[in-house]
Structure 1
């Protein structure tokens, strides 16, 4: 690039492209052998499906993103087997399940009318209406600033997998919710394991935090973003226990499954960033995806 060129011309947001770094971390760099193997496999798969490019104008990066997300979704749904094993621990009253009733008892003791009302309002924010609206506002703003649909695509992929995991796991476990006399109305009747509010809030919040970090320019912005996101996810899960709508192990499963799926979606996006065509690129040192550009 010519020395002294307008810095704004190099701004990825002005080019309709997402930034490739979070702070000093280059998201297109894969320092481990496993990471390089993953990039190579994704690139190979993208090149071996040429009909997608011809039909839809997709690049290798687009094919890699969709393929990895699809495979990861299959793996994530297969985690329902592990969720079922956790459920077995629940019904056998061993392991982590031994804390379910004591935690609920503490929640019941801490309730007051105004706390119940405030936490019910908060938990509704993470519900099937509030959470999608909140995320749509943030992601829509990012898409507008970046002049690209990729934030929307990433979020929709995350939401689709989250919904599928919730439905599959609830159907497998079929665990009953805490007794109604220990719950705060309005009552819910769907299976309790895992907590759908917690799982979906974990997935969507983690992905949104990741997208916001791509735009953050100062360390304090990144610390604040991660802190707010983590606090929201933790309190959303605990609110479900406080209201008696879920057992604590339902929430733990929601956190674990949600984080696993969110990280898979983020990895798919990193593969897209690594493999997408670069307007300022010339060659790669060894022709391998993710290698140092020269």
Structure 2
């Protein structure tokens, strides 16, 4: 049954694209599934279920995220088998590193080191945090902060679990530019975290901007930052190419999952379900956001 339309809000669109419109069969099934879940929960949970399907989606998605992380780690294991066999993409690891090493210069080494620090444990949270807080203040909503926190938490979890599980050695120290790093190599944490957080920040910027050139600029700068961050890790000899590729792929997959969850939340908040409280009077949900 089609869901009844509700009032529009500025965060529902990117340019002319309606984020609450699902054009695939899976997307429409996903929305219908969460609406059905809210209806089923209402008799059991009483007023708790009156959060609306949108807020219920946040709770259920937290559980789904844990499963997703487990599946991604399992995927890391499969990739690592390819790495240890030295076939496929892994065969490019040493040649690519050697190609980078012969092109190093003292000045370029310093510049790349300064850039790669932007994706570290201090630089990346600052960059993403400032951008997200600025958007949240501009919108006067906690939604961007919640999205970023969920994205960051999953990103860090996948990085830590993946490194501990694979425990791959980094490139030889004599091929690396100091300061050396001692944690396991696979996947690249700088690359994974930058991919997730920058993708989410770009997504939030796209929602806020109205000019095409601004959206093109945001996507271009974001893509360049993520690509260069990964390549900087190989150039400095801190990671193998396969570490970086894994960081790109896993990070993008997680960022897309978070964005999809936000779109689902928007859809269910705006369209709701028959008999659901109006968006203007609904109680705050578990994220502290009033849908």
Question: One fold, TM greater than 0.5?
Answer: yes
Please tell me the TM-score bracket, short chain as reference: 0.7 to 0.9
Mean Cα deviation higher: 72-81 or 261-270? 72-81
Paired residues in the alignment total 268
State the secondary structure of the residue aligned to 1:110: coil
Q: Which residue of the partner structure matches residue 176 of structure 2? A: 183
TM-score, scaled to structure 1: 0.86
Query: Are 1:33 and 2:22 an aligned pair?
Result: no
* CA spacing shift, 1:53–1:246, aligned 2, 3 Å: farther
- C-alpha change, 1:52 and 1:96, in structure 2 (3 Å) is farther
The equivalent of 1:158 in structure 2 is 151
List alignment gaps of at least 5 residues for structure 2.
Answer: 1-6, 277-291
1:144 aligns to 2:137 (yes or no): yes
The whole-number CA distance in structure 2 between the counterparts of 1:52 and 1:255 is 41
Determine which of 94, 97, 105 is the counterpart of 2:87.
Answer: 94
Structure 1 partner of 2:224? 231
Residues 160-208 of structure 1, C-alpha deviation per residue, up to 9 Å, x if partnerless? 0001111111112110000000001111111100000000000000011
Contact 2:8/2:270 (CA < 8 Å) preserved in 1?
no
Which of structures 1 and 2 has the larger relative contact order (alpha carbons within 8 angstroms, sep 6+)? 2
Task: State the alpha-carbon separation in 1 of the partners of residues 203 and 79 from structure 2.
Answer: 29
> What residue ranges of structure 1 are gaps of 5+ in the alignment?
1-9, 13-17, 288-294
**1:76, 1:257 within 8 Å by CA — same for their partners in 2?**
no
RMSD, aligned α-carbons: 2.2
Distance in 1 between residues matched to 2:164 and 2:175, nearest whole Å: 24
Q: How does 1:245-264 map to 2 (within 5 A)?
A: 245-264=238-257
Maintained 8 Å contact 2:152/2:193: yes
- How far 1:57 moved relative to its partner? 7.7
Supply the distance in 1 between the matched residues of 2:250 and 2:257 (Cα, whole angstroms). 11
Question: CA, structure 1 residues 120+55, in 2 after alignment: closer, same or farther (shift >3 Å)?
Answer: same
Q: Is the 8 A contact 1:139 1:151 kept in 2?
A: yes
| 1:264-279 paired onto structure 2 within 5 Å | 264-277=257-270
Distance change in 2, residues 1:184/1:57 (3 Å): farther
Counterpart selection for 1:22 from 14, 23, 26: 14
State which drifts further: 176-185 or 62-71. Answer: 62-71
The CA distance in 2 between the partners of 1:130 and 1:177, in whole Å, is 22
User: Hey, what's the Cα distance between the residues in 1 that align with 2:179 and 2:257?
Assistant: 34
Task: Sort the Cα spacing of 1:232 and 1:56 in 2 relative to 1 into closer, same or farther, 3 A.
Answer: farther
Of 52-61 and 67-76, the range deviating more from structure 2 = 52-61
Kept after mapping to 1: 8 A contact 2:38/2:49: no
State the match for 1:65 in structure 2: 58
Q: 1:68-112 deviations in whole A, cap 9, x for unaligned?
A: 243034223321111111111111111100000000001111111
What is the CA-CA distance between 1:149 and the residue it aligns to?
A: 0.4
Alpha-carbon distance in structure 1 between the residues aligned to 2:232 and 2:119: 10
Cα separation, partners in 2 of 1:187 and 1:165, compared to 1, 3 Å: same
